[in-house]
Chain A
Amino acid sequence: MTSVLQVPEPPTPAEVKVAAARTSRQNRRGLLWLLTPPTAWLLVLYIGSLFFLLITAFWFINPFTSKVVPGFTLENFVSIFTVPAYFATAVRSLLIALAVTLIAIVLAVPIAIYMAKIASPPMRAFLAVTITLPLWAGYLVKLIAMRVVFTENGFLNWLLAPFGISGPGFNTSTVIITLTYLWFPFMALPVYTAVRQIPHSYFDASADLGAKSWRTIRTVVLPLIKPAIIAGSVFTFSLSLGDYLVARFVGGSTQMIGSIIASNINLNPPVAAAFSFVPIAFVLVYLWVVRKMGALERL
């Protein structure tokens, strides 16, 4: 998994020149032969499916037969804004995804700094396993685990009972906590990799110039790991935005964009299709904002 989150290094000009020279020497047939199957698979099956989905979003349901009728209506897209429950759900999902991303950043930076620069090598190895393991422990397993924590007769209420208080139960804050629990490694791993790459001499230089720890972290570490934070945030944001099983199982009555898509997929496919473009739009806007901030080159 580490490798999905690796921030690829841009090729140096020399590498590009070598590659270009090689290409001109070899025939282009090899490239075509290698590139066609994966590109065709992704373009035809995946982009093709997304394209059909977009078309379906303009179709409508015949109110008498409940059958999908090909045609052209903007009604499905308009309903996202005009149906109050739909609009509120879109905004709620956006806020939840942003909250999850923010909490993941706030937690990932300290653990990354500790692991990369302070912990002893055995401790570092231990923590690396520790934050990698839950990445593969299974999505539903973690969801079940959070249910045991937050349920009525669960762990949190048992823990808090001596203080005379009880946990949040199943509501929107539980959804945010659970999503953070699920996607935290996607933030922690790239941030950790980035902190490790900071040369020790930078810290010496910063200390020599009189900066205390917090100032060093703020003015030296944070700017250097910004690309990694952004790479991680794309995952935490996108994965949280599209999720709806967490809302269903630990969210009480909380609904997310995916809840609306899932409940309409059989009843009203055009509405489900139109709603699928809400997370796509949010992710694209997010990538655009990130790009404006000048941090996408290394994604």
Chain B
Amino acid sequence: MLQLSRSARAVLISIVAFIVLVIYVPLLLVVANSFNVASLSSWPIKGLTTQWWVVAWESPFIREALLNSVIVALGATFFAGILGTMAAFALQRYEFFGRQSINLLIVLPIALPGVVTGVAFSNTYNSVLPEIGINIGYFGMIVAHATFCIVMVFNNVGARLRRMNPGLVEASMDLGANVWQTFRLVTFPQFRPAFVAGAILAFALSFDEVIVTIFTAPPGVETLPLWILKEMARPNQASVVNVVATVVILFSLIPVYVSLRMSRSDEDD
């Protein structure tokens, strides 16, 4: 066990306490400001009201933006789920030339800054595709999001496959199951939790993405982050934005729960 002197221990504990405070105080400020009487964010808050929650609840723009976000995130998760699982199987079950390059290719969209990914897709959608008569519109947003979400499913499913017993597949085949039956009855049930976790993380990543969306959203279409961004530019609506932000903080507990479950089951194995 790491034995620390009393002074070292005290220094460490105060650094940790400082970090936890710095992480949480700003988030709590947002929650508090969603109940602020003033429409401008401030501290201390001027007085308590729930009127902004009513405004946010009744806003058709927020609902539409939320709906768009969910559609795009579901679409991106769908493609990322299929492509990420295929890539994970290919890289875990086969040894082939260029394996490392494929790995890099999958990580690249998330490793390069979002503005690069956004500008690259925007350039293709606005300058290249119209030349060959394609107007990608709404679907372009889903394609761009799916591209950087593949890595989420790929990593989670890949980590599970690495620990799966390949003998089970061979046993299933020996017992007369065909490839599809083996996948459906033997392989998939084993990696299903990892697949679901990867899909939820992909959904969350897409739901939260701002910069790529700015460049790929067709005119007039708003996702929730785009709506927030627009409202941030006119700060007199700050309190309604704080309501939406508070709801987003609450929903972020879902992927946290999932990733914790994942790391716990990792430790159990």
Residues of A within 8 A of B228 (CB): 140, 144
Q: Which 5 A-B pairs have the closest CB atoms?
A: A242-B113, A145-B26, A136-B252, A49-B120, A34-B90
Residues of B within 8 A of A75 (CB): none
Q: Please tell me if B215 contacts chain A, counting CB pairs below 8 Å.
A: yes
Q: Please tell me if B56 contacts chain A, counting CB pairs below 8 Å.
A: no
Residues of B within 8 A of A149 (CB): 25-26, 29
Q: Please tell me if A225 contacts chain B, counting CB pairs below 8 Å.
A: no
Q: Bits for B49-71, please: 1 = Cβ < 8 Å to A, else 0.
A: 00000000000000000000000
The answer for the CA separation of A114 and B25 in the assembled complex, in Å, is 21
Residues of A within 8 A of B44 (CB): 158
B155 close to A50 (CB less than 8 A): no
A145 close to B211 (CB less than 8 A): no
A110 to chain B, nearest CB (A): 5
A140 close to B245 (CB less than 8 A): yes
Q: Which of A4, A22, A118 is the one whose CB lies under 8 Å from B2?
A: A118
Q: Bits for B242-269, please: 1 = Cβ < 8 Å to A, else 0.
A: 1001001100110110011011000000
Most buried by B among A47, A118, A216: A118
Q: Which of A127, A136, A148 is the one whose CB lies under 8 Å from B16?
A: A127
Q: Bits for B213-246, please: 1 = Cβ < 8 Å to A, else 0.
A: 0110000000001001100100000100110010
Q: Please tell me if B48 contacts chain A, counting CB pairs below 8 Å.
A: no
The answer for the CA separation of A35 and B91 in the assembled complex, in Å, is 8
Residues of A within 8 A of B124 (CB): 45, 48-49, 52-53
Q: Please tell me if B134 contacts chain A, counting CB pairs below 8 Å.
A: no
**Mind listing 27 A-B residue pairs with CB under 8 Å?**
A4-B155, A20-B95, A34-B90, A38-B106, A52-B127, A52-B128, A53-B120, A56-B127, A110-B15, A111-B15, A111-B19, A114-B15, A133-B256, A139-B225, A140-B225, A141-B30, A144-B30, A145-B27, A148-B42, A149-B25, A155-B26, A158-B43, A200-B1, A203-B1, A235-B111, A239-B114, A280-B116
Q: Is the interface of A mostly helix, strand, loop or mixed?
A: helix
The answer for the CA separation of A242 and B260 in the assembled complex, in Å, is 29
Residues of B within 8 A of A69 (CB): none
Docked complex: B193-213 residues within 8 A CB-CB of A: 198, 201, 204, 208-211
Q: Please tell me if B86 contacts chain A, counting CB pairs below 8 Å.
A: yes
A37-B82, A48-B124, A265-B215 known; A148 vs B115 contact (CB < 8 Å): no
Given contact pairs A132-B256, A144-B228, a sample of 15 additional A-B residue pairs in the complex whose CB atoms are under 8 Å apart: A1-B201, A4-B110, A22-B94, A39-B102, A42-B109, A42-B147, A137-B27, A137-B248, A142-B27, A145-B30, A200-B1, A212-B5, A238-B113, A258-B115, A279-B115
B147 close to A45 (CB less than 8 A): yes
Q: Please tell me if B77 contacts chain A, counting CB pairs below 8 Å.
A: no
B205 to chain A, nearest CB (A): 8
B262 close to A2 (CB less than 8 A): yes
The answer for the CA separation of A276 and B122 in the assembled complex, in Å, is 12
Which A residues fall within an 8 A CB radius of B? 1-4, 6, 16, 19-20, 22-23, 30-31, 34-35, 37-39, 41-43, 45-50, 52-53, 56, 68, 107, 110-111, 113-115, 117-118, 127-149, 151, 153-155, 158, 181, 184, 200, 203-204, 207, 212-214, 216, 234-235, 238-239, 241-245, 249, 257-258, 261-262, 265, 269, 272-273, 276, 279-280, 283
B252 close to A181 (CB less than 8 A): no
Q: Which of A52, A181, A269 is the one whose CB lies under 8 Å from B26?
A: A181
Residues of B within 8 A of A283 (CB): 111-113
Most buried by B among A213, A261, A283: A213
Q: Kindly report which residue of chain B lies nearest to residue A140, judged by CB atoms.
A: B228
B147 close to A41 (CB less than 8 A): yes
Q: Which of B25, B83, B259 is the one whose CB lies under 8 Å from A38?
A: B83
The answer for the CA separation of A293 and B105 in the assembled complex, in Å, is 23
Q: Please tell me if B93 contacts chain A, counting CB pairs below 8 Å.
A: yes
B210 to chain A, nearest CB (A): 6
Q: Which of A2, A269, A276 is the one whose CB lies under 8 Å from B263?
A: A2
The answer for the CA separation of A280 and B114 in the assembled complex, in Å, is 11
Q: Which of B43, B95, B110, B123 is the one whose CB lies under 8 Å from A148?
A: B43
Which B residues fall within an 8 A CB radius of A? 1-5, 8-9, 11-13, 15-16, 19-20, 22-27, 29-30, 33, 40-44, 79, 82-84, 86-87, 89-90, 93-96, 102, 105-106, 108-117, 119-124, 127-128, 143, 146-147, 150-152, 155-156, 159, 166, 198, 201, 204, 208-211, 214-215, 225, 228-229, 232, 238, 241-242, 245, 248-249, 252-253, 255-256, 259-260, 262-263
A84 to chain B, nearest CB (A): 22
A145 to chain B, nearest CB (A): 3
Residues of B within 8 A of A127 (CB): 16, 20
Q: Kindly report which residue of chain B lies nearest to residue A249, judged by CB atoms.
A: B232
The answer for the CA separation of A146 and B256 in the assembled complex, in Å, is 21
A212-B5, A265-B122 known; A6 vs B245 contact (CB < 8 Å): no
B163 to chain A, nearest CB (A): 11
A42-B106, A181-B26, A261-B119 known; A137 vs B86 contact (CB < 8 Å): no
Q: Kindly report which residue of chain A lies nearest to residue B84, judged by CB atoms.
A: A38
Q: Kindly report which residue of chain A lies nearest to residue B36, judged by CB atoms.
A: A148
